[in-house]
Amino acid sequence: MSRKVHRHNRATGEETTCGPAQLDKMLTEARRSMSWLRVGSAVAQQQTIRDFGKSRAKALKDIKAKLPMRQRAGMPKPKRKRDALPTLNYNRNGFRIKGGRLHLAGGIVLTVVWSRDLPSVPSSVRVYRDSLGHWYCSLVVVAETVPLPATGRALGVDWGVRETASTTSDDHDLPHAQHGKTAAQKLARYQRMMARRRTPKNRPDTAGYRRARKAAAKVSKKIARQRQDTGRKWAKTVVRDFDALAVEDFRPKFLAKTTMARKAADAAIGATKAALVEMARKHGRTVHLVHPAHTTMECAQCGAGAKHALPLSERTYTCTACGAVSPRDKNSARVMLVRAGLNPASADLVSPAPC
């Protein structure tokens, strides 16, 4: 399977842009002349080439639009067997499910351990292997909505380092779970091991390097699973208790210089935000994603802006205009509600202390 994946480099050699029809024709010709290519399924090869063409077209479009480097989609890199994980996509013509088993084009039959029942007929399937060597099938189905009773309440959510989520309700704050505090040390050790055992470019990886990489992947996966689990549990209670959510649209910065603690906090926020958005979608709740700019500088009570950003060490927000005093994160969470156009009165109030 990996052979088919990494051998698609032919498509990169072409300088002209090709439509899907042309690419299909090229594939048919290539299959005629190369016997090893005929061994695999045409459907899977076709999809691989189309996906490649799509990401390449997007990269070209971004370059033409002169987008700054950071926002630009990268050119798809030719995959190499030794450093790319195998993945194959099958569209509707390329697979069917019969008797609980997955039949893929090319005569491959897979016995699948189903994680849940399929709510509808899937439109496509992606078969892939993760960094631990486990194989997965990911099926695309029409998402179902399970409505929950209305509560008439709204919640503002602000993300942070100490508390992963600070909200306008004291009962719904989520402290940073510190997942992988010891695991992080383990991970760092394996990463140092990988660095020591790395071979020069164009040389195959040593067995010791691969072992260290696998161990590092295992630790990261474990931490990621714990984060996802915590995020889902929290999202469930939030979605049950509130109809409308105003959520800071947090995007991690991926700075090389950030501390381990900041990286861990960012990863926790990312997993929790994703869980919340998905849970809200599932239960038909409204999510307003609020742009995070200056939310920590604004007074949720009167809307006046502070002249300077509060230093992170300052945990209390004191408004110079109206005198409202509230914990810094609670003020930010309320600003989310205000910015989303939701009535803060429908949220649990943070009582402003008079000066």
Q: Rule CB under 5 A: which residues touch Zn ion?
A: 299, 301-302, 304, 319, 321-322, 324
The strand pair at 244-248 and 154-159 is best described as: parallel
Which residue, 295, 337, 332, is CA-closest to 315? 332
Q: Is 84 helix (H, G, I), strand (E, B) or coil?
A: coil
**Cβ nearer to Zn ion, comparing 273 with 334:** 334
Helices 260-282 and 181-197: crossing angle, nearest 10°? 120
For the purposes of burial, counting CB atoms within 10 Å of the CB of 83, is it exposed (0-12), middle (13-18) or buried (19 or more)? exposed
How near is the Cβ of 303 to Zn ion at its closest, in Å? 7
**Alpha-carbon Rg for the chain in angstroms:** 25
How near is the Cβ of 344 to Zn ion at its closest, in Å? 13
Distance CA 244, CA 251 (A): 21
**Cβ nearer to Zn ion, comparing 44 with 350:** 350
Distance CA 50, CA 47 (A): 5
Cβ atoms 321, 299 nearer than 8 A = yes
Helix, strand counts (H, E) of the chain:
9, 13
Structure-token pair, residue 138: 């990911």
Sequence-ordered list of residues with C-beta below 8 angstroms from that of 111, at least 6 positions apart, any chain: 100, 101
Residue 165: strand pairing partners: 159, 174
**Cβ nearer to Zn ion, comparing 110 with 304:** 304
**Cβ nearer to Zn ion, comparing 48 with 301:** 301
How near is the Cβ of 153 to Zn ion at its closest, in Å? 24
How near is the Cβ of 59 to Zn ion at its closest, in Å? 46
How near is the Cβ of 347 to Zn ion at its closest, in Å? 17
How near is the Cβ of 298 to Zn ion at its closest, in Å? 9
Q: What stretch of H or E contains 136?
A: strand 135-140
Distance CA 34, CA 4 (A): 12
**Cβ nearer to Zn ion, comparing 97 with 325:** 325
Which residue, 288, 299, 282, 300, is CA-closest to 247? 288
How near is the Cβ of 328 to Zn ion at its closest, in Å? 14
**Cβ nearer to Zn ion, comparing 208 with 327:** 327
How near is the Cβ of 291 to Zn ion at its closest, in Å? 20
**Cβ nearer to Zn ion, comparing 34 with 349:** 349
Cβ atoms 310, 326 nearer than 8 A = no
**Cβ nearer to Zn ion, comparing 63 with 321:** 321
